[in-house]
C-alpha cells in the first residue's frame, strides 16, 4: 500500500498516475478538497480510499493501515504569497513532522516535498547538502516553512532513511485548480487563447533584461520519474534537488507555448507589484549531481518538448492525467 498526501494536487496526483502506470492501485489518497476543483484530478486515477487530511492523522495513529510501502507526502500550502505564518507552521511543518515520525517509528519509507524556494536569491548557492542548510535564506514565508522542516528533519536524523525533494518550478497537467499559483505555462496558454499576447514582469535587476529572468522549470512527469526512482531504491536517503538542471528564461518559456499553438510570439512587459520586488528570485538552477549519483539518469524532456506535450495533449483537450 502507498499513501499519497496532497494526492489530488499537481505533483501528488501525478504520483498516483505514475504508480497506476506500473499497475499499482492499492493507494490511499489524502488531501483537502474543500470547494476547489481538485476532485477532477482524481477522476481518471485508480486508488483504494480517499481521506481528508484533518481526519487522516487520527486514522493513521489508530493503526488502521498495514503493510504501508511508502508515504509520499506532497500535501502542503504551496503559495509563495502566503502571509499567514501560523497556518504555514501548522500545515507545512507540524503535519509533516507527524508523518515523518510515524514513518520512522514504523519503518516506512518517507518521501516529502521541500522546495527550491529555500534557496532565496541564490547567493548561497543551490547545493542540496544537508550540511549547508543553515546558510540558506528564503525570501518568503513559504520558503521559510520548508526550510524550517528541512532543518528539523536533519537534526532529528530523518534523512538517514527518508528523502526530502527540493522541487523547482513544476508545471503540467492537473494544475488547473491552482488559481494564482498555476504555472506560467498555463497562464501563457490562457492569455494567448484570450488575447494573443502574454504579459511578463519587467526586470528590476540590471543584470537581467525584461523577460530574461531565469528559472529551472521541470515538467511534472519528469518529477514523478525522480520520485519513483527513490521508491525503487530504498537504500537512498537524504535531501535532493529535483529540477531540470537548466536555467531557462521566461521569454523562452512563453515562446515555447506560442510555438506549440503555432502562433507568432507576442510579449508585453508590465510592472511587477511592489510587494513582490524584494522577494523575487531572478535566477534558479538545480544542482542535480547528488541525485544523479544515486544512478538516476532519466534525462528530463526539453522545455519545448514538455510544453508541447502539455499544450497539445492536456490543455487544448482540457484533459487530466489518466483521462
Residue-range domains of the chain with CATH: 2-171+218-245+284-300 (3.40.50.720)
pLDDT score for 278: 84
pLDDT in tens, 280-292: 889 989 999 999 9
Q: What is the mean pLDDT of residues 121-133?
A: 88
pLDDT score for 127: 86
Q: Is the pLDDT of residue 120 over 90?
A: no
**pLDDT band at residue 49, thresholds of 50, 70 and 90?**
very high
pLDDT score for 124: 87
Q: What is the mean pLDDT of residues 230-247?
A: 96
pLDDT in tens, 75-117: 988 888 788 999 999 999 999 999 999 999 999 999 999 999 9
Three-state SS annotation for the chain: CEEEECCCCHHHHHHHHHHHHCCCCCEEEEECCCCCCHHHHHCCCCCCEEEEHHHHHHHHHCCCCCCCCEEEECCCCCCCCCCCHHHHHHHHHHHHHHHHHHHHHCCCEEEEEEEHHHHCCCCCCCCCCHHHHHHCCCCCHHHHHHHHHHHHHHHCCHHHCCEEEEECEEECCCCCCCHHHCCHHHHHHHHHHHHCCEEEECCCCCCCCCCCCEECEEEHHHHHHHHHHHHHCCCCCEEEEECCCCCEEHHHHHHHHHHHCCCCCCEEEECCCHHHHCCCCCECCCCCHHHHCCCCCCCCCCHHHHHHHHHHHHHCCCCCCCC
More confident residue, 63 or 114: 114
Determine which of 112-126, 235-249, 251-265 has the lowest per-residue pLDDT on average: 112-126
The set of catalytic residues is 142, 178
Amino acid at each position: 500500500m502507498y499513501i499519497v498526501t496532497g494526492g489530488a494536487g499537481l505533483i501528488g496526483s501525478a504520483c498516483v498516475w505514475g504508480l497506476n502506470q506500473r499497475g499499482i492501485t492499492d493507494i490511499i489518497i489524502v488531501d483537502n478538497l474543500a470547494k476547489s476543483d481538485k476532485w477532477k484530478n482524481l477522476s481518471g486515477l485508480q486508488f483504494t480510499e480517499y481521506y481528508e487530511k484533518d481526519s487522516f492523522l487520527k486514522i493513521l495513529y489508530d493503526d488502521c493501515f498495514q503493510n504501508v510501502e511508502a508515504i509520499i507526502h506532497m500535501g502542503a500550502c504551496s503559495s509563495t504569497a502566503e502571509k499567514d505564518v501560523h497556518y504555514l507552521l501548522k500545515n507545512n511543518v507540524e503535519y509533516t513532522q507527524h508523518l515523518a515520525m510515524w514513518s520512522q517509528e514504523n519503518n516506512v519509507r518517507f518521501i516529502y516535498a521541500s522546495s527550491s524556494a529555500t534557496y532565496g536569491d541564490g547567493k548561497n548557492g543551490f547545493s542540496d547538502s544537508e550540511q549547508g542548510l543553515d546558510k540558506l535564506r528564503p525570501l518568503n514565508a513559504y520558503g521559510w516553512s520548508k526550510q524550517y522542516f528541512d532543518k528539523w528533519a536533519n537534526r532529528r536524523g530523518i534523512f538517514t532513511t527518508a528523502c526530502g525533494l527540493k522541487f523547482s518550478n513544476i508545471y503540467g497537467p492537473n494544475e488547473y485548480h491552482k488559481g494564482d499559483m498555476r504555472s506560467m505555462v498555463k497562464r501563457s496558454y490562457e492569455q494567448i487563447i484570450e488575447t494573443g499576447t502574454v504579459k511578463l514582469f519587467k526586470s528590476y535587476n540590471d543584470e537581467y533584461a525584461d523577460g530574461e529572468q531565469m528559472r529551472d522549470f521541470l515538467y511534472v512527469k519528469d518529477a514523478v520519474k525522480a520520485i519513483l526512482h527513490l521508491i525503487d531504491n530504498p537504500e537512498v536517503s537524504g535531501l535532493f534537488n529535483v529540477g531540470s538542471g537548466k536555467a531557462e528564461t521566461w521569454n523562452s518559456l512563453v515562446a515555447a507555448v506560442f510555438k506549440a499553438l503555432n502562433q507568432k510570439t507576442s510579449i508585453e512587459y508590465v510592472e511587477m507589484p511592489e510587494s513582490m520586488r524584494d522577494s523575487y528570485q531572478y535566477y534558479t538552477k538545480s544542482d542535480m549531481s547528488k541525485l544523479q549519483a544515486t544512478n538516476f539518469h532519466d534525462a528530463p524532456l526539453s522545455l519545448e518538448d514538455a510544453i508541447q506535450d502539455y499544450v497539445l495533449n492536456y490543455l487544448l483537450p482540457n484533459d487530466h492525467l489518466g483521462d
